[in-house]
Homo-oligomer: A and B are copies of this chain.
């Protein structure tokens, strides 16, 4: 069994919806087990789950120009794993969600890449081309990201936003990550 863990923080539930979609996409791949892990609840069991995973996907809202402080505290806590290179050669990916179409989402994704590289992980992006209609709520990859998933949520309950296009993008990304992870494990 190949295992993938989505390690996310969500402030109001919008980023969690993206996390759910990534997990769902990953779980749709035969032979892959995918789980959600709320990084604000990381205790011994959760760190063990991460240690055992073949792939870890980082997710956080973009707050004040970067990954949320709650996520960053988790990243700092991972220094303990880093000392023994416990996550080395695992597959890594990332996603973020915020209210702007662009804003500083790239900053958050690049931080995830940097974190993954410190851990000696292998980074897999979305592998997606730009949409035909940039920004259209139903389009796959509507914001045109390649490093990881950029989702956009309006200031409404998470049930209503981010739109279909972003969740489909997250699902497709989860699938790609799981397939790559399975291939690398062989």
Contacts from A to B (Cβ < 8 Å): 63-70, 72-76, 78-79, 82, 85, 88-89, 99-107, 110-111, 113-118, 120-130, 134-135, 142-147, 150, 152, 154, 180, 183-184, 186
Q: Which of B66, B103, B115, B124 contacts A111, CB < 8 Å?
A: B66
Contact indicator A101/B144 (Cβ below 8 Å): yes
Which residue of B is nearest A79, CB measured? B64
Whether the Cβ atoms of B115 and A64 lie closer than 8 Å is yes
How far apart are A103's CB and chain B's nearest CB, in angstroms? 4
Provide the bound-state CA to CA distance between A117 and B65, in Å.
9
- A65 contacts B184, C-beta separation under 8 Å: no
Closest to A64 in B: B75
Q: Give bound CA distance, A103 to B117, whole Å.
A: 11
Across-interface contacts of A114 in B (CB, < 8 A): 65-66, 104, 107, 146-147
Q: Which of B79, B85, B99 contacts A144 (CB 8 A)?
A: B99
- Greatest chain B CB density within 10 A among A69, A78, A117, A183 is at A117
Contact A117 B107 (CB under 8 A): no
Pick the contact of A69 from B69, B103, B110, B144 — CB < 8 Å? B69
Closest 4 CB pairs of A and B: A100-B144, A106-B106, A102-B102, A65-B114
The complex places the Cα of A74 from the Cα of B121 at a distance, in Å, of 28
Give the CA-CA distance A104 to B4 in the complex, in Å. Answer: 27
